[in-house]
Amino acid sequence: MERLSILYASALFDLAIGHDALDEFLENALLLRDSLQDSECKRLLEHPHISAAEKHDLFKTAFGGRVHEDMLGFLFLAADKNREAFLLPALAELVEMIKRHKRIVTAKVLSATPLDDIQARELRVVLSEKLGKIVELSPKTDPSVIGGPYIFVDGYYIDWTVKKRLRDLTAYMKEGCGA
């Protein structure tokens, strides 16, 4: 299944490059992925008694005029070939391909309290400068870290949390303060 999803995503990626529409295809892929993840929608798409023509109508109604015609064609093709199960993996792969091409990475940020807009903007700027890439944030909160951020981005991690510093201090004290 993964191989076919990659083939579909690669074909869409090539079309996006050919149309000079990477941003549009990224936007479309995110919209489709988020829309099609709904459990009711998935059940409907994969239902064996709903014809490909009915699925075409559903796609036209839901996404006609909202997504690039090639993206709509991809949905039609999946319905025609009974490959609706490949839609979400292919869209997820397409999103990743476009982000890699555009040098966009996502930083997972864990902090005790939510980041405000200024903190988020400054963190994006600093990480972008350090990595030489566009950085998007995926923030989460966890009061158990007490303070400071934990950041995982592009294979690197930074742990400036108070929780880690207390753990390190405890280990240092147990070792006899370095003696």
CATH code: domain of residue 170: 3.40.30
> Could you tell me if 56 and 83 lie in one domain?
yes
Q: Are residues 76 and 10 in the same domain?
A: yes
Do 85 and 70 lie in a common domain? yes
Number of domains in the chain: 2
Per-residue pLDDT of the chain (179 residues; tens, 9 = 90+): 689 999 999 999 999 999 999 999 999 999 999 999 988 888 888 888 999 999 999 999 999 999 999 999 999 999 999 999 899 999 999 999 999 999 999 999 999 999 999 999 999 999 999 999 999 999 999 999 999 999 999 999 999 999 999 999 999 988 876 55
Domain of 140 in residue numbering reads as 103-174
Provide Rg for the chain, Cα atoms.
Answer: 22
- For residue 32, the tally of other CB atoms under 10 A from its CB is 25
Distance CA(74)–CA(81), nearest Å, equals 11
90/59 same-domain check: yes
CATH number of the domain that residue 61 is part of = 1.10.520
Listed in sequence order, the residues at least 6 apart from 46 whose beta carbon sits closer than 8 Å to its beta carbon are 84, 85
Instruction: Tell which residue, 79, 88, 85, has the closest CA to residue 36.
Output: 88
Q: Are 62 and 32 in contact (CB under 8 A)?
A: no
Q: Is the separation of the CB atoms in 148 and 111 below 8 Å? A: yes
Domain co-membership, 91 together with 6: yes
User: Of 74, 100, 126, which residue sits at a domain end?
Assistant: 100
* Entry pTM: 0.82
Q: Which of 100, 123, 146 is the last residue of a domain?
A: 100
Claim to verify: residue 73 and residue 160 sit in the same structural domain: no
Tell me the residue type at 28.
N
Q: Does 6 reside within a domain?
A: yes
**Same domain membership, residue 93 and residue 25:** yes
Question: In this predicted structure, what is the pLDDT of residue 159?
Answer: 95
Residue 179 lies in a domain: no
Q: What is the pLDDT of residues 18-49, one digit of tens each?
A: 999 999 999 999 999 999 998 888 888 888 89
Tell me whether residue 45 is exposed, middle or buried, using C-beta atoms within 10 angstroms of its C-beta: 0 to 12, 13 to 18, 19 or more.
buried
Same-domain status, 29 and 70? yes
Assess whether 170 and 156 both reside in one domain: yes
**Contact between 127 and 107 (Cβ < 8 Å):** yes
